[in-house]
Amino acid sequence: MSRFFLTIATLACLFVSPAQAGKHDAEFSRFLEAEVKPAAQAAGIKGATLSRELQGLTPDTSLPGLVGPGGKGSPPKVNFQAEFRAPANYFKDSQFNALVPGGRRLMKKHARSLAAIEKRYGVPKRIILAIWARESGYGGAKIPHDAIRVLATRAFMGQRRDFFKDELIAALKILQNGDVSRKAMKSSWGGAMGQPQFMPSSYLKYAVDFDGDNHPNIWGSEVDTMASIANYLAKHGWVKGRDWGYEVVIPDSISCALEGPDNRTSISKWAAAGVKRVSGRPFPEHELARPGNILMPAGRYGPAFIATENFYVIKDYNESDTYALFVGHLADRYGSNKGFAAAWKPTKKTTRGAVRTLQLALEAKGHDVGGADGLIGFKTRRSIGKDQEAGGYFPTCWVG
């Protein structure tokens, strides 16, 4: 985040009349004085930093998902009438064809740096680049918001006030450290910053200076961005020498209801049970004794995979099966730009409300669906499969 420069336009904002002031400006100022500043000072933020960065700050009430001052108000309702999007929607070839050439160019451009990053952190360069692509289009995406204003607004009138207050204090610490200017400290509307989309607390834990200028710069330095992504994954348990997973054929003799990381067993046992790679090649010798689990994002209606622990490390970056699979698949396509071997089969269109109704019915039967939220994670998929088996049907682990 950049330091606060008093331009003519900014000065004008400081001296608006009461009639011009925003609806919540006065209450917001009291919140900063009474709650943010004392907590920030207790965390080591100097008074000069607080005065410089918070003076004249107003809330951005245009941000989505706000509740009201003090968190008092009705949270936005989940639209359970909205269409439920099957995984196939996330894997259109056009997206990958647009991202692969850029990733290949960056591999060549940063070959030396990527080799050094991979050596230090143990994370493959193709995984690093795929996350960078997904988060910000290799830095090409617009990240237009003033991070301090976003975080302060959400701490004042968002749904997770304490979380965002802590993130605001972390952002102020970054500015105090001099790592970035206020002008350059840009974030998304949710407060995620820079090219790897780190929250401020993640920046303080995982951002690294790899280009040697003494500041971790995730806004303007491609090398620091790549190294910071690698450090994040390494600190979250990336297992060196392992891939994220393999597309496979799961025979009908193996139930899709066995999906999930809590059903891991050695890849050699999956292979002995009839699981085969779609390439026709055997699993790498060094993987056979290592654990893996079935991953079937659309049940029997789409591609199937054996996932390693590293798939779930990618999920630590963004808690979504489709996100992690997108990253892994894009990483694979930097080599041979080919789609999945298996097709995403047509499925019945439904709504989040219908999915939630199904989840509630499964919960009533004693199944653990991972929460009735209208979304289908592995716990919901395998619960569907178990219920289908109990009814005497071949399990598909999918709705419809």
**Of 8 and 261, the one with more pLDDT:** 261
**pTM attached to this predicted model:** 0.92
Residue 375 has a pLDDT of 93
pLDDT band at 21 (very low <50, low <70, confident <90, very high): low
- Answer for the pair 107, 129: CB distance below 8 angstroms, yes or no: yes
pLDDT band at 71 (very low <50, low <70, confident <90, very high): confident
Residue 114 has a pLDDT of 98
pLDDT band at 9 (very low <50, low <70, confident <90, very high): very low
Q: Residue 15: is its pLDDT beyond 80?
A: no
Burial 122-149 (b: 16+ CB within 10 A, else e): ebbbbbbbbbbbbbbebbeeebebbbbb
Q: Which stretch of 62-71, 191-200, 322-331 has the lowest confidence by average pLDDT? A: 62-71
Q: Which stretch of 1-15, 179-193, 316-330, 384-398 has the lowest confidence by average pLDDT? A: 1-15
**Of 187 and 83, the one with more pLDDT:** 187
What digits encode the pLDDT tens for the residues 231-254?
Answer: 999 999 999 999 999 999 999 999
Give the separation between CA 205 and CA 201, rounded to whole angstroms: 6
What digits encode the pLDDT tens for the residues 141-197?
Answer: 999 999 999 999 999 999 999 999 999 999 999 999 999 999 999 999 999 999 999
**Of 349 and 132, the one with more pLDDT:** 132
% of the chain surpassing 90 pLDDT: 89
Among residues 225, 230, 31, 222, the alpha carbon closest in space to that of 127 is found at 230
Q: Which stretch of 3-12, 83-92, 242-251, 259-268 has the lowest confidence by average pLDDT? A: 3-12
What digits encode the pLDDT tens for the residues 199-213?
Answer: 999 999 999 999 999
pLDDT band at 374 (very low <50, low <70, confident <90, very high): very high
User: What's the chain's average pLDDT?
Assistant: 93
Burial of 343 (0-12, 13-18, 19+ CB in 10 A): exposed
% of the chain surpassing 70 pLDDT: 95
**φ/ψ of residue 89, rounded to 5:** -65, -20
What are the distances in angstroms from CA 240 to CA 122, 210, 230, 309, 381? 5, 20, 12, 11, 30
Among residues 399, 350, 353, the alpha carbon closest in space to that of 374 is found at 353
Residue 269 has a pLDDT of 98
pLDDT band at 81 (very low <50, low <70, confident <90, very high): confident
